[in-house]
Amino acid sequence: MKLVLYIFILSVSFGAFSQDTLVVFDRPGVADSPYLVPEKTYFLESGIGFSDQSEASDLLYPSIMIRKRIFKTTELRLATSTFPQSIRLMRQITEQSPILGSIGAKQRIVREKKWIPETAVILNSYYNFSNMNKPKLANFVWEMQLLFQSTLTNWFSINYNFGYIHFATENQHYLNQSTCFNFQLTKKTSAFVENFNYVSLHSDSPEICYDFGFTHLLTKNIQVDLSYIANRFNQAHYGTILGGISFRICEN
DSSP state of 37: P
Residue 200, phi then psi, degrees to nearest 5? -85, 135
170/76 Cα distance (integer angstroms): 27
Gyration radius of the chain over CA positions: 17
12: which residues sit within 8 A by CB, 6+ positions away? 24, 25, 27, 33, 180, 182, 190, 192, 215, 225
Interior CA angle at 182 toward 207 and 222, to 5°?
A: 105
> How does pLDDT run along the chain (252 residues), one tens digit per residue?
344 444 444 444 434 332 344 455 565 446 788 999 888 899 998 888 776 655 665 666 788 899 999 999 999 999 988 888 888 888 788 776 667 889 999 999 999 988 899 999 999 999 887 666 555 677 899 999 999 999 899 899 999 999 999 999 889 999 999 999 999 999 889 899 999 999 999 887 899 999 999 988 898 888 888 889 888 887 778 888 888 888 999 887
- Beta-bridge mates of residue 232: 208, 237
- Report the relative pairing of strands 100-110 and 118-129 from DSSP bridges: antiparallel
Q: Ramachandran region of residue 58, left (φ > 0), alpha (ψ -120 to 50) or beta?
A: alpha
Rounded (to 5) percent helix, strand, coil in the chain: 5, 60, 35
Convert 211-236 to b/e letters by CB count within 10 Å (16 or more is b): bebebebeeeeebbbebebebbbeee
pTM recorded for the entire structure: 0.85
Pair 102, 78: CB distance under 8 Å = yes
- Report the relative pairing of strands 189-200 and 23-24 from DSSP bridges: unpaired
Residue 248 vs residues 7, 46, 241: alpha-carbon distances, Å:
21, 12, 24
Helix ranges (H only) for the chain are: 87-94
4 CB-side CA count, 13 A: 17
DSSP state of 113: B
Whole-number pLDDT of residue 198: 94
Pair 89, 83: CB distance under 8 Å = yes
122 closest CA partner among 193, 182, 73: 73
